[in-house]
Amino acid sequence: MYNFIENKSCDLVVLGSGSGLIAAVRAAQLTGKKVIVLEKTAVTGGGCQFAATVRTFGSKWQSERGLPDTTAEFARAMMDKVYWRLDARLVANALLGTGQFFDWLCEQESGLADRFSVGKYVFGIESDPLGPQIDQFKLGYSFGRVVMDTMKKKYAGYGVEVLTQHPAVDVEVANGKIIAVIAKSEAGYVRVACKACILATGNWISNEDIIKKYCPEFVGMRQEMGRGPMTSDSKTGDGIPLAEKAGAFVDYSTFCLRLMPSHHCKSRTFQAMVQSPFVITVNLNGQRFVAEPLMHMNHFEDGHVQVAQPRGRTFDIFDENTLAAAFKAPKRKQAFEVDKIVLGEINFPDTMEEVYRSIDDGFAQGDTHMFKSDSLEELADKTGINKDNFLTTIRKYNDNCRSGVDLDFFKSKDALVPINKPPYYAFMVTLSTDGAFGGVRVNPDMQAYKPDGSLVEGLYVTGDFASGRFLNLGGVKQQVLNDVSWAFSSGFLAGTNAGKYLESLK
């Protein structure tokens, strides 16, 4: 079927160089075996290198600094959120794997441990551990960049061969295990014989056929989004047919997107307002659809409300009344709280002069998501919002403010401030995503299951393509560990256990 331009052989072949590069370095370091990494794109590192903040549990780094170990408390809280439908042993391994990975990472380079300061995962919960973090805004680089740069420095020294622009297109299977992977280079097909395989092929966000089947509400909305590391056109689910050919259980019931409203703005004032409860949020039809602010639930879940709106596009509306109310609100530089709900950083400028300067700066920088008008009618024209519905919505909302009760969308009485003092402002919020998730079901060692519950010999899966650390609740991803922490941990565990498997073949 294939005319090979080259035949290679190794002990372990790894498909993908994000979490896969971690797995490759770990397995090679542990065993001294020959490892080949096949990477589809021209660069290594995947989405991991863009991660800003992670969780680590039970590391020596934390213990040496006297930080409390909250692994059990965190695991209990997370398992409650997923109704105990996940494998508790897999969850424990994944959490502890983060600390094991981090300690191993620090062993790779002298002084590396000292580059991290004590902090918390940015979207954490009460039982989140204090652990190693990096202030990327101060230092100019991220946690993920440090990790992947370290792996890139180390892989050659451990004898790992990395072949970029070599997408895996097929596998050969004999006696229930992968014995070779077929890659396609620019020059032709390359056969890589192997004794074990790790699939780290990432997500399927750019596979339109899968999106149509499992996330139909997202069809047609990708053109509204920009391209980025989490939505790359290279993420087409290439591992799916390879895994199925090898006999692995691809659990399609886990397939889901993680959708987010995109609130990024060039004006500090606008950025603060869209997080405040004093705005009202309308869709293109000019209608409210949620208790404001939209992001009061969870930044990584609010998108599932927004995706139901026309074109996934919404507008946060405010005026001079609501701007003044938000500025005067207490705790404006800490977590804003209304009815005991913490809404995030409401980071207003210190003076009203700076508030207005920030607005002017945003417009001067050409932020096309910002709008301003002296009338509501003109604001509707500028934004494309249905004018008649919009004016009706504002009138009804102002009536609710006067009565002190919002029985339409149940906003807190404390946040009901009428919108009737020009100028009027709008900020357009678009839909974004940090990827698509779901894939091969794995056991606590990251080894692939078969549909009958047995294991595929010599096959391990990591990162976004490994299923087992989240629950798909009607299309909403409820996870026990955030994406990059899982990528680092699952890569480390897969490399460790693939290495043990290779050693057992002696």
In the chain, the amino acid numbered 112 is L
Q: For residue 6, how many other CB atoms are within 10 A of its CB?
A: 13
The CATH number corresponding to 261-433 among 3.90.700.10, 3.40.50.1000, 3.30.70.1400, 3.40.50.300 equals: 3.90.700.10
| Residue 49: pLDDT band with limits 50, 70, 90 | confident
Residue-wise pLDDT for 132-174, tens only, equals 999 887 778 889 999 999 999 999 999 999 999 999 999 999 9
206: phi then psi, degrees, rounded to nearest 5: -105, 15
Task: Provide mean pLDDT across the span 185-193.
Answer: 97
**How far apart are alpha carbons 11 and 33 in whole angstroms?**
6
Whether this prediction's pTM lies above 0.75 is answered by yes
Q: Which amino acid is at 486?
A: W
> Rounded to an integer, what distance in angstroms lies between the CA atom of residue 280 and that of residue 422?
15
Distance CA 264, CA 287 (A): 23
DSSP-based three-state secondary structure for 41: coil
Query: 435-474, pLDDT tens digit by residue?
Result: 899 999 999 999 999 999 999 999 999 999 999 999 999 9
Tally the residues of the chain.
Answer: 506
Beta-strand runs (E) in 131-221: 131-133, 160-163, 168-174, 177-184, 189-193, 196-199
**431, containing H or E segment:** strand 424-437
Domain positions in the chain are: 4-202+237-255+438-504, 261-433
Judging by beta carbons within 10 Å of its beta carbon (0-12, 13-18, 19+), is residue 219 exposed, middle or buried? exposed
Query: Rounded to whole angstroms, how far apart are CA atoms 292 and 414?
Result: 12
CB atoms within 10 A of CB 248: 26
Q: Tell me the DSSP string of 312-381.
A: G-EEEEE-HHHHHHHHHSTTTTSEEEETTEEEEE----SSHHHHHHHHHHHHHTT-TTEEEESSHHHHHH
pLDDT of residue 335: 39
pLDDT-derived band at 6, boundaries 50, 70, 90:
very high
Contact 320, 422 (CB under 8 A): yes
Residue 119, beta-bridge partner list:
131
| Partner residues linked to 178 by β-bridges | 173
The mean of the pLDDT values for the chain is: 91
N- to C-terminal Cα separation, the chain: 32
Say how far apart CA 20 and CA 498 lie, in whole Å.
12
Strands 440-441 and 177-184, sheet pairing: unpaired
pLDDT at residue 332 greater than cutoff 60: no
**399-428: average pLDDT:** 96
The residue assigned the tokens 């609740």 is: 473
Helix (H, G, I), strand (E, B) or coil at 303: helix
Which architecture characterizes domain 4-202+237-255+438-504 according to CATH?
A: 3-Layer(bba) Sandwich (3.50)
Read off the pLDDT of residues 480-502 as tens digits, 9 standing for 90 and up.
Answer: 999 999 999 999 999 999 999 99
What value does the CA radius of gyration of the chain take, rounded to a whole number of Å?
A: 25
In the chain, what's the furthest Cα-to-Cα distance?
Answer: 79
